[in-house]
Amino acid sequence: MKPLKKYLITILSTLLIQSLILIVFRHHLTTAMPTYFSITGVPTNYYHYDRPILGSALLFLAAITLANLAVRLWLRQLAKSGILNAKLIANFAKILIVWLWGFTWVLLFYFFNLSAIGQVFMVVLNIGAFVAMLTLVRQFYRDRFKR
């Protein structure tokens, strides 16, 4: 099976599972949608609705999944091009893909008003992405300026 087809099946099955979780537990959803987050995972702004956020939550998760897919397709095009440092950019894109995938799962905690758990996972996700990016940059400069 081709890697892109595997990725597409994985990302769409994740969206399907998340959508089923939202639909099954729709009576426990909050009426506030987090719109901005600090680096520590604390939502700094909410958009409030009159009723539970089922439709908006599904659309938000679908938009993030489409953004994730767009990054993956962009990464595929980048690999075919002859851009200098394409390997470094490709590795950054892979980190972004994993971060977006993790972010969709963290959002479920905020949708069900489990902000404390969501904050912990968001901090872990952000620290992991930051460490991975620092490691990539360090490796890039080490390879570039070898003596």
Cβ pair 47, 98 in contact under 8 A? no
Q: Which pLDDT belongs to residue 86?
A: 73
Q: Which pLDDT belongs to residue 4?
A: 78
Report how far residue 109's alpha carbon sits from residue 39's, in angstroms, rounded to the nearest whole number.
Answer: 17
- Report the chain (147 residues): mean pLDDT per 10 consecutive residues: 83 93 92 85 87 91 92 79 73 87 89 84 91 88 73
Report how far residue 11's alpha carbon sits from residue 5's, in angstroms, rounded to the nearest whole number.
Answer: 10
Domain spans of the chain, in order of start? 3-144
Q: Which pLDDT belongs to residue 145?
A: 75
Question: Can you give the pTM of this predicted structure?
Answer: 0.81
Scanning the structure block, which residue is given the tokens 């950019």? 89
- Which DSSP string corresponds to the chain? --HHHHHHHHHHHHHHHHHHHHHHTGGG--SEEEEEE-TTS-EEEEEE-SS--HHHHHHHHHHHHHHHHHHHHHHHHHHHS--TTHHHHHHHHHHHHHHHHHHHHHHHHHHTT-HHHHHHHHHHHHHHHHHHHHHHHHHHHHHHT--
How far separated are the first and last CA of the chain, in Å rounded? 42
Q: Which pLDDT belongs to residue 84?
A: 62
Report how far residue 105's alpha carbon sits from residue 125's, in angstroms, rounded to the nearest whole number.
Answer: 11
